[in-house]
């Protein structure tokens, strides 16, 4: 099983600033990594797949990068609607696994 | 527009059974794998099961042998039959559609979820 470890658990950011979220895999999932955003009481929303491809209608301030076992979600110029929990996921091997999440909160 | 609507959640006693449904519309249901993901109260996301477009299924170890995923193409509906339920199965259960046809990959559309509570 590929274990996905996200850091930090909580990130305090001021609106307008940037944020960098990390996701480390216990073994390489190739580029088969996705990122999701989840707001309180809502279903997750796909942001990034293939480690770096933005999903449909996702703003350009969201970008994904990484390879091997280290992956990053970068949010530039945080807006009020971006404060949420973010999850990484690998879909390279069974079982499919999610990271524990990073909560981005207002500083 | 893609829509996924889950139903069937509720309160069930430990050891009991429940069947969840996910009604899909807005896309060619037969071409895409469909999955179930759950979220225990205050916790993160946990993948549960997937039904591939080739009818192959996979399960998380935590539910293997107790849960069964199925798909009725004629009704555009995904199911999750849950037996021998335990307290730690308590969660919101989401169905989701994979993003690319014919494979197992990212989840690009999600339903609103249905809450399953296992308690005596």
pLDDT of A10-63, one tens digit each?
999 999 999 999 999 999 999 999 999 999 999 999 999 999 999 999 999 999
Q: Is A96 on the interface with B (CB under 8 A)?
A: yes
Q: Residue A64's pLDDT band (boundaries 50, 70, 90)?
A: very high
What sign for the dihedral angle of Cα B25, A99, B39, B13?
positive
The per-residue DSSP string of A16-37 comes to TS-EEEEEEESS--TT-EEEEE
Taking 90 as the threshold, does the pLDDT of residue B93 lie above it? Answer: yes
| Closest alpha carbon to A68 in A30, A19, A18, A20 | A30
Q: What is the pLDDT of residue B46?
A: 98
Is B67's Cβ below 8 Å from some Cβ in A?
no
The Cβ of residue B27 has, within 10 Å, a number of other Cβ atoms equal to 17
pLDDT reading at B103 higher than 90: no
- Average pLDDT over chain B reads 96
Q: For residue B1, count CB atoms less than 10 angstroms from its CB and return exposed for 0-12, middle for 13-18, buried for 19 or more.
A: exposed
Nearest CB to A46: which of B59, B60, B108? B108
Please, which residues bridge with residue A70 across strands?
A: A24, A67
B65-76 per-position pLDDT tens digit = 999 999 999 999
- Among candidates A79, A90, A95, which has minimal Cα distance to A15? A79
Which percentage of chain B shows pLDDT scores above 70?
A: 100
* Contact yes or no for A36 and B45 at CB 8 A: yes
Could A32 and B105 be called an inter-chain contact, meaning their C-beta atoms sit closer than 8 Å? yes
Would the CA dihedral through A65, A2, B42, B110 be positive or negative? Answer: positive
């Amino acid at each position: 099983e590929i274990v996905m470890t996200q850091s930090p658990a909580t990130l305090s950011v001021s609106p307008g600033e940037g944020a960098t979220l990390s996701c480390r895999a216990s073994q390489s999932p190739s580029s088969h990594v996705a990122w999701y955003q989840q707001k309180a009481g809502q279903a997750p929303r796909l942001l990034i797949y293939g480690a770096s491809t933005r999903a449909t209608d996702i703003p350009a301030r969201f970008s994904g990068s990484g390879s091997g076992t280290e992956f990053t979600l970068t949010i530039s110029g945080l807006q009020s609607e971006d404060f949420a929990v973010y999850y990484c996921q690998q879909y390279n091997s069974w079982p499919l696994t999610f990271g524990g999440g990073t909560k981005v909160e207002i500083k | 527009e893609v829509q996924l609507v889950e139903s069937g959640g509720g309160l069930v006693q430990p050891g009991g059974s429940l069947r969840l449904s996910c009604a899909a519309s807005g896309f060619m249901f037969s071409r895409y794998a469909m999955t179930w993901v759950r979220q225990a109260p205050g916790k993160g996301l946990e993948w549960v099961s997937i039904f591939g477009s080739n009818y192959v299924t996979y399960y998380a170890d935590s539910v293997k042998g107790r849960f069964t995923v199925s798909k009725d193409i004629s009704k555009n509906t995904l199911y999750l039959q849950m037996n021998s339920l335990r307290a730690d199965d308590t969660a919101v259960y989401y169905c989701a559609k994979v993003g690319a046809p014919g494979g197992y990959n990212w989840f690009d559309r999600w339903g609103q979820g249905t809450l399953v509570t296992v308690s005596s």
